[in-house]
A and B are shown apart, each in its own frame.
Chain A
Amino acid sequence: MRWSKLLTMAAIILVIAALGITAAVPLPVFKDIAWLPWGKEIILGLDLQGGVHVVLEARDTPENKVNDETMKRAQAVLERRINETGVAEPVVQRQGERRIIVELAGIDDPEQAVIDLIQPAYLEFKNELGQTIITGADLKDAMEARDPNTGQVEVDLTFTPEGTKKFAQATTANVGKPIGIYLDGQLLQNPVVQEPITNGQARITGYENLDEAHTIAILLRSGALPVQLEVMEKRTVGPQLGQDSLDRSINAGIVGLVAILVFMVVYYRIPGLIADLALAFYALIVLAIFIGIHATMTLPGIAGFLLSLGIAVDANVIIFERVKEELRTGKSIRSAIDAGFKRGFVAVFDANVTTLIGAAVLYFFGTSVIRGFAVTLSIGILVSMFTAITLTRWFLHLTAATNAVKDPRYYGA
């Protein structure tokens, strides 16, 4: 018996338990520190928590009548805007002739979110005579930024090739004269043209902070709404999956997870117990990251998490089976652990990298539902590689070093 090693083990178990308790029971201490996961809750999506349900009604504008085509465009612009703000898996659907339903979950300030959402965001540059020389339709991109020299917040505009040409002509014709920048008919700035601008770049300044600039940049990037939208009603709605059904499913999930933990101990003995500890740690780390990156949890997200959990269990199983094989060849416990890890890791690595490649592609090419799945899966896989290779191995060696368990039979061999 090596007591020092035993004490280390006990300390590790205590740390995991403490982390688990603080995760379950939020401590007020960390609440105000934005990046610390403790004391905060996971944001849940529409299907798990419900959210705000807004009905918007379209009105004709001088330029556009409300018809099927403009409504389609308006819906697409709204979808882009919501996706850009990072709200996970919203509902945007047409209702009847001239209405659009928007449902959002997991926002701190739904009032403001809706107000931002329905801004027309019609950008115009006008010359001294009030003639429009270029509009938001000529924009390729808009990004918020902070000027490194002056520290002032701005929105940087990049025009399309077509727009660049227009802008170059207009600035050449107006050197020494002002060109006004208007958003939704309001004059934002009236800068005087110093010299012709031919690189297709412009900027708007005068924002309070980066957040404000960020919102404007998103609106400009997503394009202008072709029709005017008004909020007809706003209300909160319950989870799509129903609270009763969710409560039952959570309990069922716990039953399933406990079954896995028991199975691991029964089948793999000591290593199984160690794997359970590593898995508990794994789950805590993953959940902490979800909270830390403000991920919104939805059913697809949970599917990704469950798959990563399965992969994490699998990594342990692959390695233990290898350790068992090594033990059967008559190796000592410690060299069997090392050899088993070495050989098992190759399989785990290749399987995980392939799955990660898939997840990355889904993230870059997919939209809402697919993205939520890809994010949780990728985080889960990365963490599971870490825990299986470092924690499980370290725990196993510690256990072997305590000499408390000498008989290979306890290692399932």
Chain B
Amino acid sequence: MAAKPVLLLACGNPSRGDDALGPLLLEALAEHIDPDLVECIVDFQLQIEHSLDLQDRQLVIFIDASVREPSFEFTMLTPAPALSHTTHALSPAALLGVYRSLHGEPPPAYLLSIGGHSFELGEALSPAAQANLAQATRFALDLLQGAPTELAACAAKLAVTPSANG
């Protein structure tokens, strides 16, 4: 089966408070996206085999909770030359680096990070995270309304300065 042009890859554990932001954003988008155009994948964390999911895409958007952002941020990603030594999970940029080592240049990729504050097991989404989720959802809906052939260019215009984050 051919890969759909756009991949939304959300990370997070729905039972760990604001860590659920990524999966919840995909739930909010589910009824509004073209299933022939967009594939949605949810996982707890990024691993090397996710590089296989990036193949043959025109646009990839990673969605994750972030402890850094006040609300949400949309950044262009560049492949990271090295990956974290600290954990088993990969950052989106490191995953792109893995992709490049395996398959060559990765597709255009962005990180939609949504601000979260509390990540304890069994916690509900915090009120601040709920507000951030609403803003990020509106942003993603606007982005995905564009014509399929224009999505990558549209994403590039909306992204803030390319991030060197890991």
Q: A and B bound?
A: no
